Amino acid sequence: MAAAGDQNKINNNIPAKIIQKVSIFPSMPQAGMKLSMLLKEEDVSIEEIEKILRHDPGLAANVLRLANSAYFGMPTKVSTLKHAVMLLGVKRFAQIAVTASMNKAMNSAVEGYGLSPGELWLHSISVSTLSEALAKNRNVPENSDCFTPALLHDLGKLVLGEFVKKELPDIERLVAEGVPFVIAEKEVIGTNHAEIGALILSKWRFPEDLINAVRWHHLPQGEENSTLHQDIVYLANLICHSSADRESDQGQNMMPHASVLKRLRINSEQYNAYSEKARSWMNKLSNNLTFD
């Protein structure tokens, strides 16, 4: 886990124009923040969730739309929040609500990274869902939130996209030489989207373990410093990238660090099974990501 001095060093090396853009980046929607806080509690009632959604009818409608998508395979169409909770469970429903709350920010095209409308959104939901599956495999406590940092792990791309676009030829030159994209963007720009995502979550006053899961989602730390949150978000992100077969993931090593697989107790057969799950989830989600 990064010490305070290390964090200050990272921030001080980020160009001022990027820090300025982070400072004006919108806050997480209030409903999403409140819902994400509920995910850390062991006992959450539908009444608490309804109280939050009652003040945002548009969000409530989008929650139901996502809950009714083919991805969740509901046996019957749900038309009320209570019915959805009965079928999905309170925690899963709250996760869907957090996801829907971030739709407006994350469903647009992202310049610089070659992401068309919906692609960042699709990837983020897929990574958060796979992170939950990995957490369950590892028997992570119910109130330990791997879902939220996984959902928000690429948030920094929304800030850094315009800077990447301007410097893309130099970044691509390094990538062509075998340098991973996340390292190339830091070398050329002075930071990368993982650091900026962590900075945004710091601004939003997220817990340090979730912030670090975002910061290290491409480059896992060693045995002594790594946490379950970091390992899970790193591996889920890697699996979803490899399962998407995207040419734009230039220079990203699609083979996971053996140390991460060892810490998560995942063998090659299980890794392949998770890859198949991710591919299936993304196919089901791709037709259900347009919201009002």
What is the domain partition of the chain in residue ranges? Answer: 4-25+106-285, 29-101
CB 64 within 8 A of CB 84: yes
pLDDT bucket at 12, cuts 50 / 70 / 90: low
Residue-wise pLDDT tens digits, 176-207: 999 999 999 999 999 999 999 999 999 988 88
Supply the pTM of this predicted model: 0.84
pLDDT (0 to 100) of residue 70:
67
Cα–Cα distance for residue pair 175/160, rounded to 1 Å: 18
Percentage of residues in the chain having pLDDT higher than 70 = 86
CB 94 within 8 A of CB 32: no
Cα–Cα distance for residue pair 137/253, rounded to 1 Å: 24
Q: Which residue has the tokens 């886990």?
A: 1
CATH number 3.40.1280.10 given to 4-25+106-285: no
Least confident range of 4-13, 229-238, 251-260 = 4-13
Structure tokens at 62: 């989008």
pLDDT bucket at 11, cuts 50 / 70 / 90: low
Residue-wise pLDDT tens digits, 136-148: 888 777 667 888 8
CA distances in angstroms from 193 to 71, 158, 169, 202, 266, listed in the order given:
28, 8, 17, 14, 28
Residue-wise pLDDT tens digits, 24-79: 998 888 888 888 887 777 777 788 888 888 888 888 888 888 788 766 767 778 88
CB 81 within 8 A of CB 63: yes
pLDDT (0 to 100) of residue 31:
83
Nearest to 151 by CA among 126, 118, 115: 126
Cα–Cα distance for residue pair 133/112, rounded to 1 Å: 31
pLDDT (0 to 100) of residue 290:
54
pLDDT: which is higher, 101 or 115:
115
Instruction: State yes or no: pLDDT of 258 exceeds 80.
Output: yes
Phi, psi of 274 (to 5 degrees): -65, -35
pLDDT (0 to 100) of residue 251:
45
pLDDT bucket at 1, cuts 50 / 70 / 90: very low
CB 221 within 8 A of CB 229: no
Instruction: State yes or no: pLDDT of 244 exceeds 80.
Output: no
Residue-wise pLDDT tens digits, 205-214: 888 989 999 9
Residue-wise pLDDT tens digits, 85-100: 888 888 888 888 888 8
pLDDT (0 to 100) of residue 90:
80
pLDDT bucket at 248, cuts 50 / 70 / 90: very low
How many secondary structure helices (H) and strands (E) does the chain include?
17, 0
Longest dimension (CA), the chain: 55
